[in-house]
Amino acid sequence: MILLSGNEAVARGAWEGGVILGTGYPGTPSSEILENLSGYSGLRAQWCPNEKVALEVGSGASWAGGRVLVTMKHVGLNVAADPLFTLAYTGIRGGLVIAVADDPGLQSSQNEQDSRHYGRAARLPVLEPSDSAEAKEMTLLGFRLSEQFKIPVILRLVTRISHSRTPVFLGRRSKPASCRIVRDPERQVMIPKYAAVRHRVLEEKLEELALYAETAPCNRVEPGRSGEKIITSGIAYQYCREAAPDAAYLKLGLVYPLPRKLLRKFARGKDKPFLVEELDPFLATEIRAMGIDIRSKRKEYGLGELNPDRVKNLLANRAEKVPPPSPLPGRPPVMCAGCPHRGVFWVLKKLKLFVTGDIGCYTLGTLPPLSALDTCLCMGAGVGQSEGYRRVLPPEEGRKVAAVIGDSTFLHSGVTGLIDIVYNGNGGVVIILDNRTTAMTGHQHHPATGQTLMEEAVFPVSLETVCRGVGVKRVKVISSYDLPALEDFLQDSLDRPEPSVLIARAPCVLLKGLKKKSPYRVEADKCVACGLCLKSGCPALSAGEDGKVSIDPVACTGCAVCAGICPVSAIIR
Amino acid sequence: MKRETTSVIIVGVGGQGTLLSAGILSEAAALSGLEVKSSEVHGMAQRGGSVLSQVRFGERVYSPLSPAGTGDYLVALEELEALRYRQLIRPKATIFLQRKRILPAPVLAGAAVYPPGIEETLTGEGYRVEGVDEADLVSRFNTAKPANIYLLGRLSRHLDFELTVWKRVIYRYIKESLRDLNWAAFRLGREDGNIRK
Ligand SMILES: Cc1ncc(C[n+]2csc(CCOP(=O)(O)OP(=O)(O)O)c2C)c(N)n1
């Protein structure tokens, strides 16, 4: 028995289940699954450029007979939704489990979507573990079900499962299947004629799965003493156990499709069972649609993450007020001292540009004092948004719009937006914030870093060549710390009819092996306490009582951005 | 004998080693034969955000999160974070506190004030505070880095895990070059805890 996080447990389950390939794209809270899987022998784990590609690679390997684990965060499943829906029709050959991690409470995400809906929408079974032991067992079960019913299986995690450590019993690895080419166009070529048949087959599989659900060991009844009855699943089960230890439980492990008879039997009697689930009323809607009478939570409990206290109130049907904001100063994450993104935002702010942004560490550029990023929708969106703004704005306004996007995000889904700018002749400037890594989610490699997840050295995709290749003529690489050069290039780009790409390049300061330069300091008698440097938001800078600035020599990386900003040259090395 | 669930809340700022102490505590509890569940919020830990870990152990533990106002101990590597998360522990419970202030961005930007007199506030509210000055640790170890392990040592006085278990886990978790330093910090914390008791 050892303690594993939910993510480690999924990786372990995949290894024990004889997985030979793991694919995915990073995203909190799912990233550690694949990182852990890459540490096991006898398989390959790889980051793909995005989730759609990850699922497509996975489907190929599965059709050849191999067991495959595909991982992503909840919004990643939106990106992979196209192959997902049709993969449900084709079915699979080697077991295919898609581990998708939701983020109730938005610890680190742009939305709070509930991935269970994909089960119903794409007609796929969804398993939901309530701790690490179940995360491992359900990964194994997912592969068995996937092969038994010839269907991809969704393993739905949430942050609190992925990032909690609980006891797990380890097992041995089963032998991976051997792979070969199988020609089977009626299943693998989804022309309308074949797809219509496969749609019927899929609905039949779902009926069989619903029958399986009636006696599946992962759907279990636990007797109670209080007379109270609760239907629940996943992490909510643990909170309920804390809040109502003596209730009787129907704990669902397979949350789609649902066991109609089992539910009806459990609900029988004079007391209606309470349905407790995190986020959307997914189970409640499904169960009510079966004509089963249940009680369920008030609406407000569908927002945010549950916890034992909220579940207690939820069960008592107490109205929940929005908590008053804490009087204590918050501690939001900040751009690190020396972060290469800072100088770029400084220049963007100076030029008073409207910045369509994207998702990554650089999204922090929206926070004061920089306040220099104006949109953030989803990965890749900022590039297309800049074009949309320019398309409808009067020219003197449109010239002020610039897009920023990270290197990992550009390769994920920004390049298509750039192609559109070239194609539709919309001009403008796209700034790729190239810090040579996927920093936000924990410094994963991507196609332009020159290394894979397995730490093989590979040919790095050249961002500048890609941009030129799609037809951008003005492409310039400038150091992220060279503020005057950044400013000149941007100034010169704004009024041109053709598009420009500025690649602002400097490695993330948190990257391992990066040598720190010697720190800067402030000459106190030169400092005029104007506070300009503080507006860069560098956490190494702070002002004393007299307003004069000092620099924390431990935090300072010697990036010199503040030295360039200082109007009286008081910041020196 | 049924043992009640013990909940320890460990808080600090990214980079202070809260996750490491939570890991060590969890492992020590597991090696002592208890069921353990631990949970952490560390999305942006490296970017200076606040970090909250919860470790719960006992005969049978369900939720990895402890209900508010029921935690048994709070280990805080930073004062403001102690104040922020004190509602998670029982009234009068013990807080192991490193007397250290790390100014958050809104304070640095002049948009908020760092609350003064945090330790007095906590004591005034009835909590039992076992504090250590950051400077004290520096004078003993030339660095305050092992503050997280030192505070675990103080906490260890209140838990009945064998010293050999602690040593095993600390040696497993901490890389060789820092092992002796951290073990010394743990033992010192344990002794200091003894004196205070
Ligand atoms: C579809 C989707 N997949 C994954 C994520 C998680 N995620 C957020 S930003 C990001 C990439 C950040 O890397 P990069 O663009 O290089 O910017 P950096 O953080 O390095 O500044 C990822 C993977 C997401 N938000 N949406």
CA pair distance A402, A404, nearest whole angstrom: 7
CATH of the domain at A563: 3.30.70.20
In a domain, A167, yes or no: yes
Cross-chain Cβ contact A332/B81 below 8 Å: no
The alpha carbon of residue B101 is apart from the nearest alpha carbon of chain A, in Å, by: 12
pLDDT in tens, A282-309: 999 999 999 999 999 999 999 999 999 9
Distances (CA, A) of A475 to A350, A407, A429, A432: 22, 15, 10, 10
In a domain, A228, yes or no: yes
Cross-chain Cβ contact B113/A329 below 8 Å: yes
pLDDT in tens, A66-121: 999 999 999 999 999 999 999 999 999 999 999 999 999 999 899 999 999 999 99
pLDDT for position B197: 47
pLDDT for position B1: 39
Pocket of ligand 1 (CB under 6 A): A 25-27, 51, 73, 75-76, 79, 110, 359-362, 379, 406-409, 433, 435, 437-441
The alpha carbon of residue A238 is apart from the nearest alpha carbon of chain B, in Å, by: 5
CB pairs under 8 A between A and B: 122
pLDDT for position A230: 98
pLDDT by 10s per residue, chain A, length 573: 899 999 999 999 999 999 999 999 999 999 999 999 999 999 999 999 999 999 999 999 999 999 999 999 999 999 999 999 999 999 999 999 999 999 999 998 999 999 999 999 999 999 999 999 999 999 999 999 999 999 999 999 999 999 999 999 999 999 999 999 999 999 999 999 999 999 999 999 999 999 999 999 999 999 999 999 999 999 999 999 999 999 999 999 999 999 999 999 999 999 999 999 999 999 999 999 999 999 999 999 999 999 999 999 999 999 999 889 999 999 988 899 999 999 999 999 999 999 999 999 999 999 989 999 999 999 999 999 999 999 999 999 999 999 999 999 999 999 999 999 999 989 999 999 999 999 999 999 999 999 999 999 999 999 999 999 999 999 999 999 999 999 999 999 999 999 999 999 999 999 988 888 999 999 999 999 999 999 999 999 999 889 999 999 989 999 999 999 999 999 999
> Are A497 and A529 contained in the same domain?
no
Residue with tokens 């994450």: A333
Between the CA of A558 and the centroid of ligand 1 the distance, in Å, is 26
Per the structure, how many domains does chain A have?
Answer: 4
The H-or-E segment that residue B12 falls in is strand B6-13
Question: What is chain A's mean pLDDT, rounded?
Answer: 97
Domain-ending residue, one of A505, A533, A562? A505
Nearest-10 crossing angle of helices A192-215, A260-267: 40
CATH of the domain at A441: 3.40.50.970
> Are A210 and A258 contained in the same domain?
no
In a domain, A211, yes or no: yes
In a domain, B109, yes or no: no
The H-or-E segment that residue A499 falls in is none
Between the CA of A375 and the centroid of ligand 1 the distance, in Å, is 15
CA pair distance A171, A429, nearest whole angstrom: 54
* Domain extent at residue B153: 6-103+114-190
Nearest-10 crossing angle of helices A51-63, A81-90: 20
* C-beta separation of A45 from A38 below 8 A: yes
In a domain, A13, yes or no: yes
The alpha carbon of residue A389 is apart from the nearest alpha carbon of chain B, in Å, by: 31
By Cβ distance, the residue of B13, B27, B38 closest to A331 is: B13
CATH of the domain at B92: 3.40.920.10
In a domain, B75, yes or no: yes
Let me know if A538 is exposed, middle or buried by CB neighbors in 10 A (0-12, 13-18, 19+).
buried
Between the CA of A24 and the centroid of ligand 1 the distance, in Å, is 13
Residue with tokens 């750039």: A418
Ligand 1 atom with minimal separation from the A406 CA: 15
Cross-chain Cβ contact A332/B65 below 8 Å: no
Contacts of A342 (CB under 8 A, 6+ apart): A335, A370, A536, A537, A538, A559, A561
> Are A387 and A485 contained in the same domain?
yes
B173 touches chain A (CB under 8 A): no
* C-beta separation of A132 from A166 below 8 A: yes
> Are A305 and A256 contained in the same domain?
yes
Provide φ and ψ at A315, rounded to 5°: -65, -30
Q: Collect all residues of chain A within an 8 Å Cβ-Cβ radius of residue B23.
A: 165
Between the CA of A380 and the centroid of ligand 1 the distance, in Å, is 9
In a domain, A292, yes or no: yes
> Are A453 and A391 contained in the same domain?
yes
Between the CA of A441 and the centroid of ligand 1 the distance, in Å, is 7
CA pair distance A135, B74, nearest whole angstrom: 29
pLDDT in tens, A163-191: 999 999 999 999 999 999 999 999 999 99
pLDDT in tens, A449-468: 999 999 999 999 999 999 99
Cross-chain Cβ contact B80/A239 below 8 Å: no
> Are A188 and A47 contained in the same domain?
yes
Residues 56-95 of B with CB under 8 A from A: 62-68, 80-81, 83-84
> Are A376 and A483 contained in the same domain?
yes
> Are A486 and A348 contained in the same domain?
yes
Whether the link from the prior residue into B67 is cis, omega within 30° of 0, is: no
Q: What would the DSSP string read from start to end of A120-173?
A: HHHT--EE--SSHHHHHHHHHHHHHHHHHHTS-EEEEEEHHHHTEEEEE---PP
Provide φ and ψ at A430, rounded to 5°: -110, 125
A469 touches chain B (CB under 8 A): no
DSSP A429: E
Provide φ and ψ at A120, rounded to 5°: -70, -45
**Does the pTM exceed 0.90?**
yes
Name the token pair of A160: 């609190």
Per the structure, how many domains does chain B have?
Answer: 1
CA pair distance A418, A411, nearest whole angstrom: 11
Provide φ and ψ at A73, rounded to 5°: -90, 175
pLDDT by 10s per residue, chain B, length 197: 345 899 999 999 988 999 999 999 999 999 999 999 999 876 566 678 899 999 999 999 999 999 999 999 999 999 999 999 999 999 999 999 999 999 998 888 788 999 999 999 999 999 999 999 999 999 999 988 999 999 999 999 999 999 999 999 999 999 999 999 999 999 999 999 866 54
Name the token pair of A173: 């690895």
Cross-chain Cβ contact A239/B65 below 8 Å: yes
In a domain, A331, yes or no: no
Cross-chain Cβ contact B48/A160 below 8 Å: no
> Are A8 and A67 contained in the same domain?
yes
* C-beta separation of A143 from A97 below 8 A: yes
> Are A173 and A230 contained in the same domain?
no
> Are A124 and A51 contained in the same domain?
yes
> Are A367 and A290 contained in the same domain?
no
Distances (CA, A) of A276 to A217, A289, B7, B8: 20, 17, 24, 27
In a domain, A334, yes or no: no
* Domain extent at residue A76: 2-215
- What interface predicted TM-score (ipTM) does this complex get? 0.95
CA pair distance A231, A274, nearest whole angstrom: 6
The alpha carbon of residue B197 is apart from the nearest alpha carbon of chain A, in Å, by: 31
Distances (CA, A) of A333 to A156, A452, A511, B40, B128: 28, 28, 18, 16, 30
In a domain, A516, yes or no: no
